[in-house]
Structure 1
Amino acid sequence: MTRSWWGWGNVEDAVGGAELRALLDRVTALMPGELTDHEPPGIASLGLSAPRVTPPGSLAALCSADPADRAAHAHGKAFRDIVRNLQGDLRHVPDLVARPRDERDVTDLLDWCGREGIAVIPFGGGSSVVGGVEPRCEGHPGVVTMDLERMDRVLEVDGTSRAARIQAGVFGPHLENQLRPHGLTLRHFPQSFEFSTLGGWLATRAGGHYATLYTHIDDLVESMRVVTPAGVSASRRLPGSGAGPSPDRLFLGSEGTLGVITEAWMRLQERPRRRARASVRFGDYAAAVAATRAIAQSGLNPANCRLLDAAEALINAGVSVGGGVLVLGFESADHPVHHSLERALELCRDHGGEPSAATGGDARAGEPGEDAGGGSAVDTWRSSFLRMPYQRDALARHSVIAETFETACTWDTFETLHRAVTEAARQAMREVTGTGVVTCRFTHVYPDGPAPYFGVYAPGRWGSAVAQWDHIKAAVSEAIETSGGTITHHHAVGRDHRPWYDRQRPGPFAAALSAAKTALDPAGVLNPGVLLPAP
C-alpha cells in the first residue's frame, strides 16, 4: 500500500468507480450543481524551499530532507489541510523529518534543537484535524518534525496484570497484531485507528471504541514515559494512586508541547467473544435523545451507543427516518450480554423506539467498527463510517465542503447547544455558500451528558473553500463556547482551536500550564503555538 501525501490513508483505497458515482449522486441530490474534479499536484510542482538547517553528523542518518517526506508532514488531515494540499498551498513545511530509533535518539534530537532554537513537532500518524502537526512556527531558524514510526514495538506483556509496555510510535493495526497472540487487546479503535499511533492517542486524549465507560485513552493508561528537554519523566506503574496530582495527567493531552511520549504501560483486556447488537428507529428526535440518556444513566454501559439524527441516518446509513437511529452494542469476553441488550431495548421502547431484530453470538477478534452491527442499515453506516475520510477527500476534490466538528455538554444543556450550533452552522453556510446540510450524531455518551459530533456538507468554490470553511468553523466554535460546550471532546486543541481553548480553560490553570512549559521546555522549541502562545 502507498500512503497518500496529500490526503487520507492509502492511495489504493481512494474513492473511485461506482462508489464515487454514488457519492456524487447523493451530494448533487442535496446540493444541485456541477462538480468538477481537481487532481492533486505532483510533488515536483510544489516548489518547496530548501531546508534551512543541517543536522550534525551524528544525527544525519535519522533525518530526511526528501521533498515528498517534507510535504507529507506539512499538514494534518482536516478538510482545510486536504484542500490546501490539492491546491499546492504548502506555505509551512518542516525543514527536516527525523525518525528516532530509540529514546537515546529522541534525547539527542531534542538536545540539538534546544541548543539551536529549532522548533520540534512530535508526529505520530499525522491524522490531526486541528493544525496540531502543522509547522507554523514563526521566529525559529528551522523546524524538525520528529516522526516516531520506528518506535513501534510491544516491549513487554504482563498477562497476570493484563497490561503491556508499548512504544509510542506503533500504529493501531500493528499494535493489535502484536497483542493478538496473547489473547489480549487494547480495544481502542478511533476512526483513525489504521493511521494513528499510541503516542498520538495519548498526546491528544483520543476517544476510541467505547461509547460509554472507557471512552478516552486516559482510562487505559497505567504509566507513561516522556522525554522532555529538562529530563525524562517516568511515572510509577500502578493501578491507581492518590499521591498528589497525577504526573500522567500532565502529559495526557499535552499535544507535544511538554515532551515526547516514548512509551506507556497500557491496560489490556481479553478479546471479546460474546456480542449482542441492534438498531432502534425513532420517529421523534427528542424521544431518541431521551432514550439515549436513559441508557447512559442505566449502568448498562454498552460498548456502542451512538445516536444518528435523521440527516446523518439518511446520508451515511441510507435510512429514511423521522427522528433518528440509535446503534446499540454490548460485548464481553466471559459472559452473555443479550440480557443487557434486551434491557436497553426496553428503555428504547419506553420512549417510542422500534428495535430491529437483535443479533449476537461469538465474536471474531475485534477490529475497528465491528461493534456497530444490528441490521443492514446500520451495517451500511458502519462501512460508511470507516470510509468517511476517503469520501471527504473525494468531495474536497470536487469543491464540496465536507467536514466535522465535535463537542460535549451536559444533558440539561444539550437542546440549547444543539439548536445554537445548528443555527450558527446554517447561517454561516447561507452567508458563504448559499446552502448546506448539518448532521449530528453522538459518538460517546456519559451519565451526565453526550458528545455530539456534527457534520457539514455545503457547495464550495474552488480557490475559496478554505476561507468558506474557516468562516463556518469560527461560527460554530463561537456557538459551542457560548453554549457551555467544550471546544473539543477528542479532536484536540492544536493551533486551530486555540482561541476558544484560551477562553475555556481557567486562568490559574493557564498560568500553571505555562509555568510547566517553561520548566520542561525552557527553550520553547516543542510544538510552539499549540495549547499556549508561542514564545
Structure 2
Amino acid sequence: MTDVKHMKWWGWGVDGVAFHHEDKPGFAPFVKKAVGLDLWTAERTEKPDFADVQVAEPIAPAALLAELKTAVGDENVTTDKLERVVHTFGKSLRDLVRIRALKIDRAPDIVVYPADEDAVAGVVKAAVAAGAVLIPFGGGSNIAGSLEPHADETRPVISVDLGRLRLLLDIDEDSGLARIQAGALGPDLEAQLAERGWTLGHFPDSFTHSTLGGWIATRSSGMQSDKYGDIADIVRGFRVVRPNGTLVIRPIPSASTGPSVREMVVGSEGRLGIITEATVQVHRIPEKRVIHAYFFKNWDHAIKAMQEISESDASPSITRVSDGNESGFSLATSKESKGVSKFVQDSLFSFLEGRGWKPGEICLSFIGFEGSPDHVKRTKAIVDKIVKRNSGLGVGTGPGVLYDQKKFDTPYLRDFLLDMGAAGDVSETAAPWSKLIGVHDAVYAAANAAYEQIGRQGWIMSHLSHSYHSGACLYFTFAFVMGDEDPLGEYDIVKGAIQQAFIDAGGTISHHHGVGLEHAPWLEQDISTEGVAVMSGLFSSADPDGLFNPRKIIV
C-alpha cells in the first residue's frame, strides 16, 4: 500500500505522543478551579479498541473499482476498514466524541491515492460515470465537519487522499512564486522550500497535519498572517480537476476579468472540484526572526495597543494577546520554574501587583519580528513605544521561545481532556476594532449562560490574533466536564450559544476554520439570504449532480 501517513484514527496527531501535566505544577489546580475536574483522581478512559468499530460493508461496484484501479493503480485503491475509518472524519470535538464512542453512521466506501493530476482526472472521470460522490482528503485535520459523508448518502463515496501529491515542482525566483502539489503537508512543504532558501510563511496551528490544498479549500490563516497574509492572499493560482476538464487560474499579480474564480475556489471545501496544485507567493527566509513577550495591565489596554500597532508603520509578523483567563491558563501549562528563573518570575509579578495590576486581568502578548536586523530593530522600537503608551511591559524573548516550541502541540491537550470526560474546543471569529471588545464580552456572557443552562461548571478564554487594518480575529477556547447521557447535546448548546453571539455582536461565524457542517446553520445570518442564494447557484451550476463533497457549507 501507499506510504502516506495519517494521524491516529481515534485522536489527534501521532500515536504515542500525548499531553502530560505531571511536570506542570499549576495545571491540575487550574483545571480544578476552571471546570471542577480533579486530574489526580479522575478516571481516565482507555484507548478505544479498533476491533469494536462497526462499519457497514462498502458500496463498491466492481466496475467502479476496476476503473479506479486503472486510474491510480491496483495498490492505491482500497476498501480496507481502517482506511475507511481514518477517512471518515476530521478532528473536531464532535468527530472525536463519536469515533471514541465507535459511532460511524456513514464511512467512505473506497479510498484512492492518486499520484498526479492525470490520476486525479481518471478518478473524477470514473466517479462521474458511476454517479459516485468524491470527497478530497488532505491531512484530515479539519474541525468544521468538512470531510464526513452524510449519513443518508446512498451513492458510493470515494475519499480522494492527495497525500502522494506532495512535491515542490518549481520556483520562479524572479517573482517569488512556487508551484507546489496540493497534498504537501506543512512540514514537508517548508522543508522543500527551505532547501532553496524560501518560506511560505503559513503556519496554522494544524501545520504538522494539514496540507496546502486543505488550507486553500478552507480559507486557512496562519499565526504569521500579519506579515505573510492569509492563504487567500498567498495563493496566486491553482489547478482544479473537474468533470469536463481542469480549471486553471494563472498566477497573475492582479486582473480585471470579471468575478474572481480564484476567490470562488478558495474556501469552497471541495465543492467545485479537486485542487491538485497551487502557485503560491513565497519569501526569502528572513535573516532574523524573534518573538518578544509583553504583559498588559488588562484586556482593554491590550486591544488598544494591538489596534495602534496595526495602524502604525510597524510590520510585525505576529501580534497575539491573550485575555486574563487565557494568560492564566498559559502560565498554568508552564513547567515549574526553579532557582533564578523562579525568583525573576515571582519578583516580576510582585512588581506588577505593586503597580496596581490585578493577577486575573493581566494579559500576556507575543509579538514577532522578522527581516533584516535593521528592520527588526526599527519595527520593535515602534512597537515598544506603543506598548509602553498602553500600560504594557516587555519581558524579553524567553516566553516567546517557549511559545514557538509548543505552538503546534495544543490539540493534544484536547485529547487529554477527552480522556478525562471533559470537552475542550475552540471557535473563532473576526470583527472590526470598534466591535472587538463587545464581541468578546458577548461571547463570555453567552458561554456562561449556556453552562448554567446545562448545569455544568464551564470555562471560556480568548486571544486576539491575525490583525488587519480594520479589525482582528478573536479565538475562543471553551471547556466543561460532559455528562454521560447526551454529551454532544450539551456541547451543541454551548457551541451554538457562542456562534450566535458572534453574529449578534457583529462578528463572522468563522475566521479560518471554514464552514463545513458545523457552522452552516449560521451562514445565512452571516452573508444574507441573497448571499446564500448566489452561493447555492454557484454550487448547483458547477456540480448539478452533487458529486463533489455535497451539502457542505450549504446543507
Q: TM-score, normalised by structure 2?
A: 0.88
Is the contact made by 1:7 and 1:77 (CA closer than 8 Å) also made in structure 2? yes
State the shift of 1:417 in Å.
1.4
Aligned position for 2:36? 32
Aligned position for 1:3? 7
2:365 is equivalent to residue 343 of structure 1: no
Aligned position for 1:369? none
CA distance in 1, matches of 2:26, 2:160: 40
SS, match of residue 467 in structure 1: helix
Higher mean C-alpha deviation, range 461-470 or range 147-156: 461-470
Q: 1:431 aligns with which of 453, 471, 477?
A: 453
Summarize the Cα distance change of 1:500–1:92 in structure 2 as closer, same or farther, 3 Å threshold.
Answer: same
Summarize the Cα distance change of 1:17–1:277 in structure 2 as closer, same or farther, 3 Å threshold.
Answer: closer
Aligned position for 2:511? 489
Q: 2:157 aligns with which of 114, 130, 143?
A: 143
Summarize the Cα distance change of 1:232–1:137 in structure 2 as closer, same or farther, 3 Å threshold.
Answer: farther
Aligned position for 1:363? none
State the shift of 1:335 in Å.
4.5
Is the contact made by 1:211 and 1:302 (CA closer than 8 Å) also made in structure 2? no
CA distance in 2, matches of 1:328, 1:393: 28
Aligned position for 2:363? 324
Higher mean C-alpha deviation, range 59-68 or range 523-532: 59-68
State the shift of 1:443 in Å.
2.1
SS, match of residue 59 in structure 1: helix
CA distance in 2, matches of 1:142, 1:119: 6
Matches within 5 A, 1:226-265: 226-265=240-279
Higher mean C-alpha deviation, range 135-144 or range 465-474: 135-144
CA distance in 2, matches of 1:502, 1:137: 23
State the shift of 1:17 in Å.
7.3
Once the two structures are superposed, residues 451-478 of structure 1 have per-residue CA deviations (whole angstroms, 9 ceiling, x without a partner) of 0001112122245322221110111111
CA distance in 2, matches of 1:2, 1:234: 29
Aligned position for 2:344? none
CA distance in 2, matches of 1:397, 1:285: 32
Is the contact made by 1:124 and 1:196 (CA closer than 8 Å) also made in structure 2? yes
CA distance in 2, matches of 1:17, 1:440: 21
Q: 2:22 aligns with which of 18, 22, 26?
A: 18
Matches within 5 A, 1:97-108: 97-108=111-122
Summarize the Cα distance change of 1:292–1:463 in structure 2 as closer, same or farther, 3 Å threshold.
Answer: same
Partner amino acid, structure 2, of 1:9 = G
Is the contact made by 1:70 and 1:93 (CA closer than 8 Å) also made in structure 2? yes
Aligned position for 1:478? 500
State the shift of 1:121 in Å.
0.9
Matches within 5 A, 1:9-408: 9-16=13-20, 18=22, 23-33=27-37, 34-54=41-61, 55-60=64-69, 61=74, 62-136=76-150, 138-318=152-332, 320=359, 322-332=361-371, 335-357=374-396, 374-376=397-399, 378-408=400-430
Aligned position for 2:548? 526
Is the contact made by 2:105 and 2:151 (CA closer than 8 Å) also made in structure 1? no
State the shift of 1:333 in Å.
5.0
State the shift of 1:29 in Å.
4.0
State the shift of 1:410 in Å.
0.6
Summarize the Cα distance change of 1:137–1:261 in structure 2 as closer, same or farther, 3 Å threshold.
Answer: farther
SS, match of residue 321 in structure 2: strand
State the shift of 1:433 in Å.
4.3
Partner amino acid, structure 1, of 2:431 = C
State the shift of 1:334 in Å.
7.2
Partner amino acid, structure 1, of 2:50 = I
State the shift of 1:419 in Å.
1.3
Q: 1:498 aligns with which of 500, 516, 520?
A: 520
Is the contact made by 2:325 and 2:361 (CA closer than 8 Å) also made in structure 1? no
Partner amino acid, structure 2, of 1:209 = M
Is the contact made by 1:277 and 1:341 (CA closer than 8 Å) also made in structure 2? no
State the shift of 1:444 in Å.
1.0
Partner amino acid, structure 2, of 1:519 = S
Once the two structures are superposed, residues 65-101 of structure 1 have per-residue CA deviations (whole angstroms, 9 ceiling, x without a partner) of 1111111111111112112111111222111111112
State the shift of 1:519 in Å.
2.9
Summarize the Cα distance change of 1:5–1:287 in structure 2 as closer, same or farther, 3 Å threshold.
Answer: same
CA distance in 2, matches of 1:159, 1:229: 34
Is the contact made by 1:230 and 1:520 (CA closer than 8 Å) also made in structure 2? no
Aligned position for 1:370? none
Partner amino acid, structure 2, of 1:322 = E
Aligned position for 2:355? none
CA distance in 2, matches of 1:2, 1:106: 20
CA distance in 2, matches of 1:74, 1:291: 43
The count of aligned residue pairs is: 516
SS, match of residue 66 in structure 2: coil
SS, match of residue 276 in structure 2: strand
SS, match of residue 57 in structure 1: helix
CA distance in 2, matches of 1:244, 1:115: 32
Partner amino acid, structure 2, of 1:214 = Y
Q: TM-score, normalised by structure 1?
A: 0.92
Higher mean C-alpha deviation, range 176-185 or range 269-278: 269-278
RMSD: 2.0
SS, match of residue 115 in structure 1: helix
State the shift of 1:389 in Å.
0.3
CA distance in 2, matches of 1:94, 1:321: 47
CA distance in 2, matches of 1:410, 1:329: 22
SS, match of residue 434 in structure 1: coil
Unpaired runs of at least 5, structure 2: 335-358
Summarize the Cα distance change of 1:32–1:482 in structure 2 as closer, same or farther, 3 Å threshold.
Answer: closer
State the shift of 1:166 in Å.
0.7
State the shift of 1:174 in Å.
0.8
Summarize the Cα distance change of 1:134–1:524 in structure 2 as closer, same or farther, 3 Å threshold.
Answer: same
Once the two structures are superposed, residues 207-261 of structure 1 have per-residue CA deviations (whole angstroms, 9 ceiling, x without a partner) of 0132425331111112111111232110122122222222211100101011111
Higher mean C-alpha deviation, range 385-394 or range 205-214: 205-214
Partner amino acid, structure 2, of 1:402 = G
Question: Share of identical aligned residues, percent?
Answer: 31
Aligned position for 2:351? none
Once the two structures are superposed, residues 105-143 of structure 1 have per-residue CA deviations (whole angstroms, 9 ceiling, x without a partner) of 222222222233222111111111110001125343221
Partner amino acid, structure 2, of 1:375 = G
CA distance in 2, matches of 1:35, 1:230: 56
Once the two structures are superposed, residues 180-204 of structure 1 have per-residue CA deviations (whole angstroms, 9 ceiling, x without a partner) of 1210111111111110000000001
CA distance in 1, matches of 2:221, 2:328: 25
Summarize the Cα distance change of 1:333–1:150 in structure 2 as closer, same or farther, 3 Å threshold.
Answer: farther
State the shift of 1:532 in Å.
2.2
Partner amino acid, structure 1, of 2:387 = C
Is the contact made by 2:34 and 2:457 (CA closer than 8 Å) also made in structure 1? no
Once the two structures are superposed, residues 5-35 of structure 1 have per-residue CA deviations (whole angstroms, 9 ceiling, x without a partner) of 1111101222247359875454224333452
CA distance in 1, matches of 2:482, 2:406: 22
Unpaired runs of at least 5, structure 1: 358-373
State the shift of 1:321 in Å.
5.4
Is the contact made by 2:54 and 2:102 (CA closer than 8 Å) also made in structure 1? no
Is the contact made by 1:76 and 1:132 (CA closer than 8 Å) also made in structure 2? yes
CA distance in 1, matches of 2:323, 2:30: 17
Partner amino acid, structure 1, of 2:117 = E
SS, match of residue 65 in structure 2: coil
CA distance in 2, matches of 1:221, 1:382: 25
